[in-house]
């Protein structure tokens, strides 16, 4: 069953699971393992991963620890946010959007070090295996993919820990017992699922939330901020220019303080089942709301409505792991075309779980007080035009009515 593999690049967090995978790969495939640890702003120290990899025999030049935070926000999060992408009406795709970047970097490293295989620690029931592997195959059609969770027989926590102990892999105390839920984190969001969350009727326990204050504990006084956009992307907070990752981090702080961006949902996985999860997307939620705010003022109706119709499809593509697909790129081309004048400032009020747009302005505003005003508009709009407009829009309905449908 196991094809011969020479060298494999593993997406390696340094945690227990991927450490076991590292060892299992070495053993099962008698191959050289190259580790890749990405800093996507998940808020963990990454250097311990280096020590651990070294300890398990990975050559120093085969340990890759990359800070991808700016690339993540600039080339993945922001383009997605331009689309106002929301999966199933509520989910801001925080996990989904990180996978293609990891896959891309793994394939780049594989090419650099001459590896013929890549591997990841995603299980066989989830979406992430799909997202990783569609990314791998799109970028290197001939790469060998190893998905240990679908191959090995370490099917229970107990077996996994036994394997670790047998192979001198350190197991921290808190990993010995079963965690009450599992999480994934990056700069955009933290997801939690499993165990205590599995009954969708049970409220998510308070202790599951890790990145946002409980709205009840958030400040009693609202806070106002502004976000400046240029061509569809955020560039400044309260007038202070900052890089994409810095901007998102800053919004994460605001979101955390005010308890913004919590989501308890049941979603439909690409692999065919429903799952229940809890997501915290503090800064992303604020950003998403603000982006819609600036679009309200600067986007033409035709463009806006076309975007709204395309957005569910676009979101589905990202959710399903099809970032590197021609159809996602086509949609992106359309979306990006629409953003040329999405420039201006949005003012938001943050308060106990809420982020409200309370003002927006733009040098490219399409809003015309002169046209819309209840006051005399000095001929900017001829109300008589409305009659013809209605008459011709009604014509087909009248013909229908005469037929007696």
Question: Binding segment for its own copies among 44-52, 58-66, 160-168, 390-398 (CB under 8 A)?
Answer: 390-398
322 binds its own copies (CB under 8 A): yes
**What is the closest distance, in whole angstroms, from the C-beta atom of residue 101 to its own copies in the complex?**
17
Active-site annotation holds for 360: no
Which residues, numbered 2-21, are part of the site for its own copies (CB under 8 A)?
none
Q: Enumerate residues 157-216 that contact its own copies by CB under 8 A.
A: 182, 194-195, 198-204, 215-216
Tell me if 368 contacts its own copies by CB under 8 A.
Answer: yes
Span interacting with its own copies, options 43-51, 130-138, 168-176, 236-244, rule CB under 8 A: 130-138
Smallest CA-to-CA distance from 237 within 249, 222, 247, 223 is with 247
**Contact with its own copies (CB under 8 A) among 49, 111, 373, 379:** 373
Q: Are strands 32-39 and 63-67 parallel, antiparallel or unpaired?
A: parallel
Q: Is 130 in the site for its own copies (CB under 8 A)?
A: yes
Residues with Cβ within 8 Å of residue 356, at least 6 apart in sequence: 289, 348, 349
Told to check if 45 binds its own copies by CB under 8 A, we report no
Applying CB under 8 A, the site for its own copies has a residue count of 129
- Determine the interface stretch with its own copies among 65-73, 97-105, 165-173, 371-379 (rule: CB under 8 A): 371-379
CB of 53 to its own copies, least distance (A): 26
State the minimum distance, in angstroms, from the CB of residue 63 to its own copies: 27
Closest CB 327 distance from its own copies, rounded Å: 4
Residues 88-117 that bind its own copies (CB under 8 A): 88-90
184 classed as catalytic: no
Range in contact with its own copies (rule: CB under 8 A) among 17-25, 50-58, 159-167, 289-297: 289-297
Instruction: State in angstroms the smallest separation of the CB of 330 from its own copies.
Output: 4
Q: Is 385 assigned a catalytic role?
A: no
279 appears as a binding residue in the annotation: yes
- Please indicate if the annotation marks 290 as binding a ligand: no
Q: Is 228 annotated as a binding residue?
A: no
List the binding residues for L-aspartate. Answer: 123, 127-128
List the catalytic residues.
17, 99, 128, 182
């Amino acid at each position: 069953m196991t094809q011969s593999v020479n060298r494999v690049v593993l997406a390696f967090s340094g945690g227990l699971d991927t450490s076991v995978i590292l060892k299992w790969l070495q053993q099962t495939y008698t191959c050289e393992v190259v580790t890749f640890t990405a800093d996507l702003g998940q808020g963990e120290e990454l250097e311990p991963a280096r020590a651990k990899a070294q300890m398990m025999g990975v050559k120093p030049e085969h340990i890759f620890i990359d800070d991808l935070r700016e690339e993540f926000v600039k080339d993945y999060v922001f383009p997605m946010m331009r689309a106002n992408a929301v999966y199933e009406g509520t989910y801001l795709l925080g996990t989904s959007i990180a996978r293609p970047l990891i896959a891309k970097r793994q394939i780049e490293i594989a090419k650099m070090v001459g590896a013929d295989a890549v591997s990841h620690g995603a299980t066989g029931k989830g979406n992430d295996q799909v997202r990783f592997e569609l990314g791998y195959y799109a970028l290197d059609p001939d790469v060998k993919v190893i998905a240990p969770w679908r191959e090995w027989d370490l099917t229970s926590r107990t077996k996994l820990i036994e394997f670790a102990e047998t192979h001198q892999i350190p197991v921290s105390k808190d990993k010995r017992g079963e965690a009450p839920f599992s999480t994934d984190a990056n700069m955009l969001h933290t997801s939690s699922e499993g165990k205590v969350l599995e009954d969708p009727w049970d409220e998510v326990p308070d202790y599951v939330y890790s990145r946002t204050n409980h709205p009840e504990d958030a400040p009693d006084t609202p806070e106002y901020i502004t976000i400046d956009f240029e061509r569809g992307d955020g560039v400044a907070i309260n007038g202070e220019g900052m890089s994409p990752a810095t901007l998102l981090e800053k919004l994460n702080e605001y979101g955390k303080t005010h308890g913004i961006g919590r989501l308890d949902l049941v979603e439909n996985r690409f692999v065919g089942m429903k799952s229940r999860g809890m997501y915290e997307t503090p800064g992303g939620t604020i950003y998403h709301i603000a982006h819609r705010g600036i679009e309200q003022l600067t986007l033409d109706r035709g463009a806006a409505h076309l975007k709204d119709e395309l957005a569910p499809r676009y979101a589905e593509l990202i959710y399903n792991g099809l970032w590197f697909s021609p159809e996602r790129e086509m949609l992106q081309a359309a979306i990006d075309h629409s953003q040329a004048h999405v420039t201006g400032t949005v003012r938001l009020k943050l308060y106990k779980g809420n982020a409200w747009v309370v003002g927006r302005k733009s040098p490219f505003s399409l809003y015309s007080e002169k046209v819309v005003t209840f006051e005399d508009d000095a001929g900017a709009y001829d109300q008589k035009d409305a009659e013809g407009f209605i008459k011709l829009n009604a014509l087909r309905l009248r013909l229908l009515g005469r037929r007696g449908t």
